[in-house]
Amino acid sequence: MLDIKYIRENSELIKKAATDKLMEVDVDRLLDIDKNIREITSKLDLLKEQRNKLSKLIPTLSQEERQDKVNEVKNLKNEISTLEETLTPLKLEYKDLMYRVPSVPLDEVPIGKTDEDNVEIKRVGEIPKFDFEIKDHVDLAENLDLIDIPRGVKVAGSRSYFLKNEGALLEMAICRYVIDKLVKKGFTPMVVPTLVKDTPMFGTGYFPIGKEQSYEITEDNLYLVGTSEVSLVSYHSDETFENTNELPKMYCGYSSCFRREAGTYGKDTRGLYRVHQFTKIEQVIICEADFDKQTELHNFLLNNAEEILQDLKIPYRVVKVCTGDMGIGQVRKHDIEAWMPSRGKYSETHSCSSFNDFQARRSNIKYKDKDGNTKYCFTLNNTAIASPRILIPLLELNQNKDGSINIPEVLVPYMNGMTKIEKKNK
């Protein structure tokens, strides 16, 4: 959410941001409502002041004078009630429109409509060449009894799966390795709620735009999160840090995540790339409202994810995400895309985002600066690892001719010393 004063003073900039982000919001309607609300509120304040003065005056008046003033107070109350009834729907529409106003991307963000318009800034690692016909992750994993997609579909419907045997252990190993790495860097590990109220979803910018991607538990008015970012940012909602020494707050959240993948019918249907339930470790930072500090922390988060892929020896590239591929609140975003042999291209595994005070304003997260002024915090996040998507390059890049899978060296200690996954003798 943006400051309404900023929107008033920069309406054309906001309109351009909405156009560039491919989002629809009637900024002119918002400003008209804002003006009406202020005018009505001002009039209400005057009427209430008159009513209060008369109410205090009435007991001091004579019987004859009193009745006239009582009638006057009654008329004022009716006028106030009418104005308040007018104000209620305006405030609801105002709130809805405010939740739809996007943040303004930084000047460095490329203008574009889809991920095809993202701008590559670097590639790291050599794409391996195989001297045998490679298998994709589905064939590899099924041959080694690491996944069971048909039974996943039987139990839970499309885009569902079971991870089994070393497949399950491998996901756990990756997650534990990543958590250990981030804890050493100063992150607080968190296991977070995956069922949340709608307030955190609005607060982090996943509602109202994007609501169709969430699973709703209607009986309890709860929602399944698509990322632990929702819970981690909301951890400090409606709080004020007393000084900048308490910042930055750095959390790594471990959770199951759920996305409906609405609008992706027929897309990425084979394998583990696009599924409804997955496990993710998310990096979240809450910091003071300092643009230079935010840039430093953005690069820190991005580098952490790059280090993880380097440790796993997975080739990748980093792209600047264009306006049309950004979310409503992001002012800067980089994606990291790992090389996936079966897809024959780099595909997204990590997204690193800066929000300025967009999420903090919606979530009411503040701090007091060195002069005692109260300000909204800045927030940032980046994927640390997401499984089973990361298993795609990990399995495919480490396959051998006989169908076995080499385990990356950094994961061997987390796999109880196992260095290779081989087919079991029946």
At 426 the pLDDT is 63
- The contacts of residue 53 (CB under 8 Å, 6+ apart) are none
At 285 the pLDDT is 98
Biggest alpha carbon distance in the chain? 107
Bridge partners of residue 354, in order along the sequence: 332, 380
At 72 the pLDDT is 85
Q: Average pLDDT of the chain?
A: 96
Below-50 pLDDT ranges, the chain:
none
Bridge partners of residue 333, in order along the sequence: 353
Q: Are 319 and 119 spatial neighbours (Cβ–Cβ below 8 Å)?
A: yes
Catalytic residue among 51, 100, 259, 317: 259
At 63 the pLDDT is 74
For 267-324, what is the HEC assignment? Answer: CCCCCCCCCCEEEEEEEEEEECCCHHHHHHHHHHHHHHHHHHHHHCCCCEEEEECCHH
Give per-residue pLDDT as tens, 143-202.
999 999 999 999 999 999 999 999 999 999 999 999 999 999 999 999 999 999 999 999
Catalytic residue among 231, 234, 351, 363: 351
Catalytic residue among 51, 343, 389, 396: 389
Identity of the amino acid at 247: L
Give per-residue pLDDT as tens, 372-419.
999 999 999 999 999 999 999 999 999 999 999 999 999 999 999 999
Token reading at 192: 């977070």
- Set out the domains of the chain in order of their start, with CATH numbers: 4-98 (1.10.287.40), 115-421 (3.30.930.10)
259 a catalytic residue: yes
Q: Cα–Cα distance between 410 and 413 in angstroms, integer?
A: 7
231 a catalytic residue: no
Catalytic residue among 51, 348, 361, 362: 348
387 a catalytic residue: no
At 34 the pLDDT is 98
